[in-house]
Amino acid sequence: MKSFYITTAIDYANGSPHLGHAYEKVLTDVISRFRRQMGDTVYFLTGTDEHGQKVQASARKQGVEPQAYVDRISAEFQALCARLDVSNNDFIRTTEPRHKQVVRAILQQLFDRGEIYQAEYRGFYSTRQEQFLQEKDRLPDGSWPEIYGEVTDIVEKNYFFRLRKYQDWLIDYLRTHEDFIFPKYRQKQVLEFLKEPLNDLCISRPKERLEWGIPLPFDENYVTYVWFDALLNYYSAVADKGLWPADFNVIGKDILVPPHAVYWPIMLHASGLPPPKALLVHGWWLQGGAKMSKSKGETVNPLSLVDQFGVDAFRYFLIREMNVGQDSEFTVEQFLVRYNSELANNLGNLVNRTLNMTTRFAAGVIPAVDVTEDPERELQELWTKTRDEAVPLCEQFQFHTALERGMAFITATNAYIEKRAPWKLGKSAEAKDQALLRTSLATMAEALRLAVALMRHVTPSTTDKINAVLGYTPGPVWRDELVWGAKLKGARVAESLVLFPRPEKKVG
């Protein structure tokens, strides 16, 4: 079995999770579940980023110790993962000893080899971004862009990592590894960024200014710059498991350049480690055209949507609506459109009809196919086409299109049922009509089984529930489950299943 190591970004422990964080976890979970279905052994890591200025400031604001504060926020993120049915194998916190140990060992090794040096820094510093700024970062009118918050003049001694030394190596690496970043066009943006000379990276913060961090092993008067600490989580979590390099680091587009596309591969290379095999970069959930974020106030609380509509409706929406890599506007109206038309009406209807009619006309036992005519042949052909397109789409992270194909197949199955009208056949005593009735019941049940097998990585518990009411236990090999057959013959179905009830209260 092939092993597949995938990670999400680790979320800042400076506020509660919102829809953007939930999306990244669900997306990575969908990829993980899909790869497991395809036979890989998946190791899926997520976690929280718990050091740095922002966290220290948030804790102070609430009048609590940083450790107590991050314990609470990290627990919220862990609870979110559980509630979203996220199948992560591990959850790393950057305040854990296992992480700090690796960060300190790598820093020491880089220091010993002269990759880190001390120098005096004079210039501008943005507290909000925890970043040193240069003249070129100013706006044409001389002011600083709003994202930097308050910018102060400072002079201080710090430690620097020799980023510049590896600029040519990185350019060459990107040119020879065309698939390093998905979607591909983002790799060009990185190369564009690398046309300007890189500055060495300041990786220390004096303790007087920031206490909440990992002390530098070679100078305890400083703590480690939070990005240098955080990026190493992907490695520290598996350092003793032989899983490095990761197959994918899944991240949002805001943290590609420079942290993941520049610092990260260079940090690894300078430490004698290979870069991750690829970065998967997703877009943003927007609200009113702007990135949904804590600092902008009102965000969508994923848990309230899950409480109201169920976890699979939430997962389905996120994956169906977003084309991986692009941005998407979140609105409750659009959520309700997908919920009602695709889940409640289209899929919900097929489930209800299959269970009702099998109960009414076949005493709850799925019959064998008796005759196969054009309508059955057409539906089977559509299935083969749907599956043969959907699986490669999922391999290319086009989960939204794969779901669309799956829904179209469900629509076609409902149309098939209209055409066969089993409720009419059930009233006839003619042998031919009885044969067609058995055929149509078997066909709709098989189509339903296949459709939900195809969606299993997105809606795992819905697929399980539907299999259960169909009296069916899937086999171990997912690809075999996608073959049209007579797997349900003789199965005893439940009388009903309420899957996607109409919302009663107002959403919000």
| Binding site residues, ligand MSP, CB under 6 A | 9-12, 20-21, 23-24, 49, 230-231, 233, 251-252, 254-255, 284-285, 291-293
> Residue 21 corresponds to which amino acid?
H
276 within 8 A of 248, measured Cβ to Cβ: yes
CA of residue 317 relative to chain centroid, distance: 13
Q: Tell me, what DSSP letter sits at residue 341?
A: I
- Nearer Cβ to ligand MSP, position 276 or 406? 276
Smallest distance, Å, CB 25 to ligand MSP? 9
The distance between the two most distant Cα atoms of the chain, rounded to a whole number of Å, is 94
Smallest distance, Å, CB 156 to ligand MSP? 24
- Nearer Cβ to ligand MSP, position 127 or 434? 127
- Nearer Cβ to ligand MSP, position 302 or 348? 302
- Nearer Cβ to ligand MSP, position 83 or 138? 83
For residue 137, give Cα distances in angstroms to 13, 144, 151, 255. 27, 7, 11, 17
Q: Whose CB is nearest to ligand MSP?
A: 252
Smallest distance, Å, CB 439 to ligand MSP? 47
Smallest distance, Å, CB 49 to ligand MSP? 3
In sequence order, what DSSP letters do the residues of 230-273 get, joined into one string?
HHTHHHHTTTTTT-PSPSEEEEEGGGIIIIIIIIHHHHHHHTT-
- Nearer Cβ to ligand MSP, position 166 or 284? 284
Smallest distance, Å, CB 215 to ligand MSP? 20
Query: Residue for token digits 């055209």?
Result: 289
Query: Residue for token digits 């095999």?
Result: 277
Smallest distance, Å, CB 328 to ligand MSP? 9
- Nearer Cβ to ligand MSP, position 92 or 407? 92
- Nearer Cβ to ligand MSP, position 125 or 285? 285
Q: How far apart are CA 206 and CA 222, in angstroms?
A: 4
Smallest distance, Å, CB 230 to ligand MSP? 4
Smallest distance, Å, CB 251 to ligand MSP? 4
Q: Which of 489, 492, 363, 369 is nearest to 436 (CA)?
A: 369
Q: How far apart are CA 24 and CA 248, in angstroms?
A: 13
Smallest distance, Å, CB 410 to ligand MSP? 28
Burial of 481 (0-12, 13-18, 19+ CB in 10 A): buried
Token digits of residue 490: 């003789």
Smallest distance, Å, CB 23 to ligand MSP? 5
Total count of residues recorded for the chain: 508
H or E stretch covering 46: strand 41-49
144 within 8 A of 138, measured Cβ to Cβ: yes
Smallest distance, Å, CB 501 to ligand MSP? 28
95 within 8 A of 49, measured Cβ to Cβ: no
Q: How far apart are CA 345 and CA 319, in angstroms?
A: 19
Smallest distance, Å, CB 264 to ligand MSP? 8
219 within 8 A of 56, measured Cβ to Cβ: no
Q: How far apart are CA 151 and CA 148, in angstroms?
A: 7
- End-to-end CA distance of the chain: give it in Å, rounded: 44
- Nearer Cβ to ligand MSP, position 284 or 409? 284
H or E stretch covering 3: strand 3-8
- Nearer Cβ to ligand MSP, position 20 or 422? 20
- Nearer Cβ to ligand MSP, position 8 or 398? 8
H or E stretch covering 507: none
Please state at what angle helix 185-193 crosses helix 167-176, rounded to 10 degrees: 160
Q: How far apart are CA 133 and CA 122, in angstroms?
A: 10
- Nearer Cβ to ligand MSP, position 49 or 342? 49
Strand 279-282 and strand 248-252: the pairing is parallel
Smallest distance, Å, CB 223 to ligand MSP? 16
CB atoms within 10 A of CB 382: 17
Q: Which of 311, 308, 317 is nearest to 339 (CA)?
A: 317
- Nearer Cβ to ligand MSP, position 20 or 276? 20
- Nearer Cβ to ligand MSP, position 92 or 470? 92
